[in-house]
């Protein structure tokens, strides 16, 4: 390689890195929480804003009791209007709010326990929501799990057919 080719290759890498960061910074995320995850939501918002993400916060900021199904519905309805890359839901354990969200047509909410689960929720399940618990102590930080989810692409292929089958279950019963 000539020196000019090396310089051009280095510039291309720098440009690709810039574009990748720019595209990530343009992500639009909806977040909602109940009273069991106020502190966790504040931590997540700090992380998301530091990444330059556009965040719509529909959650509560006080520990006065609210019902997680209402918060899941509020965030899912907003997400389904369009324009969002994904959503984040939070309650005490993440369990109740994720179950509630998964009752809503078009929502695939994952409850990752670590970075691997966050990666697979996107790569294999094409999740459009993540749920976390404010009273859960995680092995990996929630910010690391979100970052892993964001950087992972849906693999498609055999997983796309499984997603179709999964979503077809919404019409059952």
Catalytic residue among 35, 109, 124, 173: 124
Our answer to whether residue 91 is catalytic in this structure is: yes
d(CA 15, CA 11): 6
Listing DSSP states for 78-118 in one string gives HHHTS--SEEEEEESSSHHHHHHHTTSTT--EE--SSHHHH
The DSSP letter of residue 36 is G
Under 8 Å between Cβ of 36 and 2: no
Catalytic residue among 35, 91, 159, 173: 91
Our answer to whether residue 173 is catalytic in this structure is: no
Catalytic residues: 91, 124
């Amino acid at each position: 390689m000539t020196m000019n080719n090396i310089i051009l290759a280095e510039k291309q890498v720098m440009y690709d890195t810039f574009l990748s960061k720019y595209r990530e910074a343009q992500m639009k995320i909806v977040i909602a929480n109940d009273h069991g995850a106020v502190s966790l939501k504040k931590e997540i918002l700090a992380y998301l804003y530091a990444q330059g993400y556009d965040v719509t916060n529909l959650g509560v900021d006080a520990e006065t009791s609210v019902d997680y199904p209402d918060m899941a519905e509020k965030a899912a309805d907003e997400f389904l209007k369009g324009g969002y890359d994904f959503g984040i839901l939070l309650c005490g354990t993440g369990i109740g709010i994720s179950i509630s969200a998964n009752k809503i047509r078009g929502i695939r909410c994952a409850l990752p326990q670590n970075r691997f689960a966050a990666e697979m929720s996107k790569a294999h399940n094409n999740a459009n929501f993540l749920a976390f618990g404010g009273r859960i102590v995680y092995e990996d930080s929630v910010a690391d799990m979100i970052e892993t989810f964001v950087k992972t692409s849906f693999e498609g292929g055999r997983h796309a057919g499984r997603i179709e089958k999964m979503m077809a279950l919404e019409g059952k019963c």
